[in-house]
Structure 1
């Protein structure tokens, strides 16, 4: 089923592209950059985001093949449309040096196992815990926001070598993390003969 794009969204993208040239990005990178910029009305994300097209191609295939999607908080889950997500924050407890967000990551991993797409938009401690586990993700969208630990956790994600979407600055948040995942959800699946291997 094709997604129907509202005229306001169409006009918003027209204006975005009039102010920001994204034509040099590969297809999935362009989709992620544009949707994140659109979600925040912040053109600086075009130079702040870090991702690899090959990782996005593999993640796109995994997502459309039914890989689980895990979020750190319900706000991220609420922003991801057209797909069920796993968020275990409601079941998590803090204590013994572990935040609720970090515990939720542990609980979610016990539920979904390897190969999931992880979308972290709020808690740097969730991203830190994810990096401490051997989750073998299809992709980590690591875009937590904040002045304490956000930039550092995203730097650690990039250093980990895991397939990821991150950004260099302290900014981020639930809306932009959900937008990055939605970009992959909305991007069409190529016919089998056109898939990039």
Structure 2
């Protein structure tokens, strides 16, 4: 079933493309960059985001083949459309040396096992915890936001060699993390360029 794109969204993407030339980007990279920028109205994401097309291609295949999608918080889950997600934050507890978000990641990994797509848009400690697990993710969308630990956790993600979408700066958040996943959801399975 094709997604119906509202005229306001079409106009938003038209204006985005009038201000930023994304035509030279690979198809899935372009889809992620544009949808993240669209979600935040922030053109700086064009140079702040870090990803590799081959990682996105494998993640796209996994996602459309039914791989689980795990989020760090309900706000990220709420932004992901057309797909069920796993978020265990409500079941998690903090303890010595362990934040509630980190515990939620452990619980989610116990539930879904390897091969999931992880979408982290709030808690740097969730991303840090994921990096300690043998999660073998299909993709980690690591876009936590904040002045404490966000940039560092994303740098650690990039250094890990895991397939990932991240950004260099401290900005991020639930909306942009969900947008990155939605870009992969909305992109046609034939990898033809998405029409807005």
Q: Tell me the residue number matched to 2:17.
A: 17
Residue in structure 2 matched with residue 36 of structure 1 by the alignment: 36
Shift of 1:11: 0.2
Quick one: distance in 1 between partners of 2:146 and 2:11? 31
Q: List gaps (5 residues or longer) in structure 1.
A: none
1:156 Cα deviation from its structure 2 partner: 0.1
Counterpart residue number, 1:71: 71
**Where do residues 38-187 of structure 1 align in structure 2 (5 Å cutoff)?**
38-187=38-187
Shift, 1:190, TM fit? 1.1
Q: Deviations over 1:24-66 (max 9, x none)?
A: 1000000000000000000000000000000000000000000
Write the distance in 1 (CA, Å) between the matches of 2:26 and 2:189. 15
Q: Give runs of ≥4 in structure 1 deviating > 3 Å.
A: none
Once the 2 structures are TM-superposed, how far is the Cα of residue 96 of structure 1 from its aligned partner? 1.5
- Normalised TM-score (structure 2): 0.97
C-alpha distance in structure 1 between counterparts of 2:151 and 2:96, whole Å: 24
SS in 2 for 1:132: coil
Structure 2 spans left out of the alignment, 5+ residues: none
Instruction: Return the TM-score normalized by structure 1.
Output: 0.97
Partner Cα separation in structure 2 for residue 8 and residue 103 of structure 1? 39
1:116 to partner: Cα distance: 0.1
Q: CA deviation at 1:188?
A: 0.1
Query: SS in structure 2 opposite 1:140?
Result: strand
Residue 8 of structure 1 is matched in structure 2 by 8
